[in-house]
Amino acid sequence: MLQAGSYQTLTVSRISDHGLYLADEEGAEVLLPNRHVSLADKPGDAKEVFLYHDSEDRLVATTEHPLAVVGETAYLKVVDKTIHGAFLEWGLQGKDLFVPNRNQNTPMQAGKSYVVFLYRDNVTGRTVASARLNGFISNESLNLNPRQQVSILIATETPLGYRAVIDNRHWGMLYRNQLFRPVAIGEKTTAYVRKITPDHRVDLSLQQEGFDEVRHSAERLLEIIRHAGGNIPLGDDSSPEMIAAAIRMSKKVFKRSLGYLLKRGEVETDGTSTRLTNKK
């Protein structure tokens, strides 16, 4: 079944003056315009394409890659507005993504970027976006585990920290007092599930926890010291701000990593600086 807003692998069924007609397993066809066609393309070839509706409401195919597809959250810039809604830069030539007025928390402004969720309209079949994320992101039924690595998109800032969308499905929280580096709305990054509460709240961390995290961070710290010529001006007495600015690591993780390296005899410290031992 041909559906807008997603990638599909289709078969070249015939060639026309306007491009290639691609067909799905049911025989439904869609046009891939000439600008996306190669001279090597021939009937029977399989092609992965993205489907969307053009300005005349026709379903068409493209070999371009949009900034987001149906079922994903994204941070997109408003490039135009009408009385009916806003249009977001989508990464497709000549095609922007529509956000109806009803899908906006506050009136969107041209030139600004917003976190939105892409979905397929049940009536028109068109791909549209919504800034009302709670209609699509939920923690009612979680499919997560503590210490699991996840992909997140920073969605909003609160007094406690930053609310993030986890794997395009769930809400999570990055607490301000546990951040070791600046983060920004719209940033996509890797995080780890710290805790899941009985009421389905998910606490996140930008760092792994436990022995694996210590070992990984210790190896990273060792490489930093080596690249600095064998000595860095950081130790147990250094402030969290100094540590975060210099090596983008929290003081808690730095101290654990330093302790690990000290036990292995690979570094020595006087509290204000850390250097490699003769062993290394």
> Which of residues 110 and 248 earns the better pLDDT score?
110
Fold of 211-276: Arc Repressor Mutant, subunit A (1.10.10)
The whole-number pLDDT of residue 244 equals 86
Binning pLDDT at 50, 70 and 90, where does residue 209 land?
Answer: low
DSSP the chain: ---TTSEEEEEEEEEETTEEEEE-TT--EEEEEGGG--TT--TT-EEEEEEEE-TTS-EEEESS--S--TT-EEEEEEEEE-SSEEEEEEEETTEEEEEEGGG-SS---TT-EEEEEEEE-TTT--EEEES-GGGT---SS----TT-EEEEEEEEE-SSEEEEEETTTEEEEEEGGG-SS---TT-EEEEEEEEE-TT--EEEESS--SHHHHHHHHHHHHHHHHHTTSEES--TTS-HHHHHHHHS--HHHHHHHHHHHHHTTSEEE-SS-EEE-TT-
Lowest mean pLDDT among 80-84, 113-117, 187-191, 238-242: 238-242
> Over the stretch 129-177, which tens digit does the pLDDT of each residue have?
999 999 999 999 998 999 899 999 999 999 999 999 999 999 999 998 8
* Res 210: pLDDT: 57
Residues of the chain with CATH 2.40.50.140: 7-62, 73-135, 149-205
Task: Give me the mean pLDDT over the 117-126 stretch.
Answer: 95
Asked if the model's pLDDT at residue 112 lies above 60, the reply is yes
CATH class for the domain made up of 149-205:
mainly beta
CATH topology for the 73-135 domain: OB fold (Dihydrolipoamide Acetyltransferase, E2P) (2.40.50)
% of the chain beyond a pLDDT of 70: 98
Task: Say which CATH topology domain 7-62 has.
Answer: OB fold (Dihydrolipoamide Acetyltransferase, E2P) (2.40.50)
